[in-house]
Amino acid sequence: MASTILRMGEIEEALGRIDPLPLMEAGFVAFSEARAVVPPVGELIFDAPPGDSHIKYGFVRGDDVFLVKIANYFPDNPKHGKAADDGVVILFDQRTGALRATLVDHGYLTHVRTAAAGAVAAKYLGPRVVERIGIIGTGAQARHQLLYLKRVTGCRAVSVYGRDREKARAYQIDMRRQGMDVKIAASPRAIAERCNLIVTCTSARQPLLMVDDVRPGTHITAMGSDSGEKQELDPLLLQRADVLAVDSIAHASALGELHHALDRDCVRLQDVRELGRIVRDPSLGRTDDAQITVVDLVGLAVQDIQIAKAVLVAGA
């Protein structure tokens, strides 16, 4: 049986026929119920020029495929007229090991499944009434996060912070075209002062949001810290959270915001909940409008499996 190759146009067309949110929910539940086999992330870190390559792979027990994904991020590429992201998703037959499909997505599916995961986190842990959405970061993921949040909240008031004022202005213009009322904030602290649903999607290596910045009732989804060197949140903020959730306790302990909080003895593993458990039992999530909730997403191969399979079927 010949394998399939899907390129960007076909992938984008297929995504138009898919709702990724229930796919992510089902993937998180499968992972937390130990039905998904997801080994530790393979990682290459480059210094000159800076960049990283993440290799994720895994399978769901009883499924018909397994997956290997390579996702690259080289932040200096735009200075030379090249995209910062690239990558490929490969599906193999779980029964025979035969190549089933190659999705030449240039990292796009990673953006989509990450944004969909952010929307799932907000759906189960976000405040009942979202006063204003705060986005820290101005790159591609910052755009995808906001677009997918439209699926779970009616709030269209947004504040954005980015270190580069020109990029923040470009983000403001782009998102206004998508029906969002975006204002540029002067600092991450200014975001926290006005917003009760905050998403951090940067490659920061020092905390951007500090424990005293955040007011009661706020939800924070952090997904930029996908390697041990990256960090967006003050570890004391995780300690202060009334509900602290991660996509994977094992993976976040090594890579994410949880990793830094554990190193500082700010949290205990027994107080951390996996998002899949919350999806299965929403009572484990937010139960009070005054609670501070934090979700640390490092990204799981089961998310890639879910969306890649759906794209393959929709694109057939």
- Secondary structure element (H or E) that encloses residue 27, with its range: helix 20-32
Do residue 121 and residue 244 come from a single domain?
Answer: yes
Q: What is the mean pLDDT of the chain?
A: 95
Do residue 78 and residue 46 come from a single domain?
Answer: yes
With 90 as the cut, is the pLDDT of residue 150 above it? yes
Confidence of residue 303 (pLDDT cuts 50, 70, 90): very high
Do residue 155 and residue 182 come from a single domain?
Answer: yes
pLDDT in tens, 157-167: 999 999 999 99
Predicted local distance difference test score (pLDDT) of residue 284: 96
Closest CA to 245 of 212, 221, 280: 221
pLDDT in tens, 75-119: 899 889 999 899 999 999 999 999 999 999 999 999 999 999 999
Predicted local distance difference test score (pLDDT) of residue 133: 98
User: Which residue is catalytic, options 56, 69, 230, 309?
Assistant: 69
Predicted local distance difference test score (pLDDT) of residue 1: 56
C-alpha to C-alpha distance for 102 and 297, rounded to whole angstroms: 26
203 vs 166, more confident? 166
With 70 as the cut, is the pLDDT of residue 316 above it? no
Predicted local distance difference test score (pLDDT) of residue 14: 96
Do residue 155 and residue 242 come from a single domain?
Answer: yes
Predicted local distance difference test score (pLDDT) of residue 103: 97
What sign has the CA pseudo-torsion 239, 240, 242, 248? negative
Predicted local distance difference test score (pLDDT) of residue 19: 96
Do residue 295 and residue 310 come from a single domain?
Answer: no
Average pLDDT of the residues in 272-298: 96
Average pLDDT of the residues in 308-314: 95
Do residue 137 and residue 210 come from a single domain?
Answer: yes
Average pLDDT of the residues in 279-286: 96
- Tally of domains within the chain: 2
Do residue 243 and residue 223 come from a single domain?
Answer: yes
The domain containing residue 225 runs over which residues? 115-300
Q: CA of 203: how far to CAs of 127, 268, 305, 315, in Å?
A: 26, 25, 25, 33
pLDDT in tens, 17-59: 999 999 999 999 999 999 999 998 898 999 989 999 999 999 9
CATH number at residue 236: 3.40.50.720
Do residue 74 and residue 133 come from a single domain?
Answer: no
Do residue 71 and residue 130 come from a single domain?
Answer: no
Do residue 120 and residue 98 come from a single domain?
Answer: no
With 80 as the cut, is the pLDDT of residue 2 above it? no
Three-class secondary structure of residue 105 per DSSP: coil
| Residues above pLDDT 90, as percent of the chain | 91
Kindly tell me the burial class for residue 83, based on how many C-beta atoms sit within 10 Å of its own C-beta (0-12, 13-18, 19 or more). middle
C-alpha to C-alpha distance for 257 and 255, rounded to whole angstroms: 7
CATH number at residue 80: 3.30.1780.10
Confidence of residue 256 (pLDDT cuts 50, 70, 90): confident
Residue 183 bears catalytic tag: no
Do residue 224 and residue 286 come from a single domain?
Answer: yes
Do residue 292 and residue 306 come from a single domain?
Answer: no
